Structure 1
Amino acid sequence: MLYFAFGSNMLTSRLQARVPSATPVGRAFLQGHQLAFHKRGADGSAKCNAYWTGQPEHWLPGVIFRMDAAQLPALDDAEGPRYDRIDVTVQNDNDKPIEAFTYRAKPDAVMDGLQPTATYYRYVLDGAIEHGLPEWHIEAIRYVSRYALVTD
């Protein structure tokens, strides 16, 4: 099965610690969405969300991973109850549509004004760099560090 990662799970080593079968397939883009650090984690810090804007000019970059379906419960557990698993159609670099699943924050888990931990932030940034996501997206992630990061 194919998983579209856009937050900390883009970092291959982090995802493989949760889902050992996960192997990167390539970059992909989810239309009508933007990255937002506004999902409240269990520790009270910000986690990533695929924020639906509905605007066709908005594209959320991420990474497609292939994984064993038997490991899906482990990934669901790692993501926790404040995310919904949803089916999405993303586009790869060749504009080919790809059916995958991803996670979206439940509305009651979204809160403005949250900051990520420094460790979580590095997972997101390092994953984006590891997979060569567009520079504009990497710069947007770097911008988050201008705000106070929560000390781990």
Structure 2
Amino acid sequence: MSKSADDGTFMYFAFGSNLLKERLQAANPSAAFFTTARLKDYQLEFGVCEAIVGNIWHGGVATIRHSPGSEVWGVVWSISNRNKDTLDEQEGVSKGVYSPLDVWVESGDGGTPPTTTRCRTYQLNNFQPCPPSPPYKHVVCCGARQQGLPVEYCERLQALETNNYTGPTFLDHMRHTLTALEHSSFIG
């Protein structure tokens, strides 16, 4: 069974900082959780766009790379078409940082045939490997746990090496929200 949005919304597959609801909805308030899903034959990587010297996270950001046999877990969000431009802006499409990519993701609990959903996602351009900063890793891990991604996958994210950056980042203005998330019952 497959699904695709055609009701004034589009489906977006998030696998990085936009796993965290508060991060995504800050610029895209229409975003609504649809399901968790996996993208087959892709691998999660962290890096920077060669053309951009710095970024708000002070380290590598999430991207995907085609890799047969691998999988990336994430969240499918239903977003109003009126927020497509704001999502593109958040992802730096006009600056050449990321490019939109259409993918099919699978969701399901294992007891039923998987449902496939066509989604918009983003892939980093001119990829140069770079570990994430601790704040970026923190946002990704909080979002993965918040959205109920598989425990093993969350553990793999938690085990990621960082670049040990300790200065200020975009996360500073989100700190209050993340502190509240850490103390809630879904983050253990």
Would you identify which runs of 4 or more consecutive aligned residues in structure 1 move more than 4 Å?
none
Give the Å deviation of 1:147: 3.8
| Paired residue type of 2:63 | N
| Aligned-residue identity in percent | 29
Q: Which residue of the partner structure matches residue 178 of structure 2?
A: none
- What aligned pairs does 1:134-149 form with structure 2 within 5 A after superposition? 134-144=150-160, 146-149=161-164
Q: Which residue of the partner structure matches residue 58 of structure 1?
A: 70
Q: TM-score, normalised by structure 2?
A: 0.73
Let me know the Cα RMSD of the aligned residues. 1.5
**SS of corresponding position for 2:165:** coil
Q: Which residue of the partner structure matches residue 46 of structure 1?
A: 60
Q: TM-score, normalised by structure 1?
A: 0.89
Q: Which residue of the partner structure matches residue 111 of structure 1?
A: 128
Structure 1: runs of 5+ lacking an equivalent: none
Q: Which residue of the partner structure matches residue 29 of structure 1?
A: 38
Structure 1 or 2, whichever has the larger Rg, is 2
What is the CA–CA distance in structure 2 between the aligned matches of 1:5 and 1:141, rounded to whole Å? 14
Give the Å deviation of 1:150: 1.8
Aligned length: 146
Structure 2: runs of 5+ lacking an equivalent: 1-9, 169-188
Residue 149 to residue 51, structure 1, CA distance change in 2 (3 Å):
farther
Contact 2:133 2:162 in 1 (8 A): no
Q: Which residue of the partner structure matches residue 71 of structure 1?
A: 83
Over residues 34-92 of structure 1, what are the superposed CA-to-partner deviations in whole Å (9 max), with x where a residue is unaligned?
A: 11112346425100001211x1x211100000011111111111111211101110001
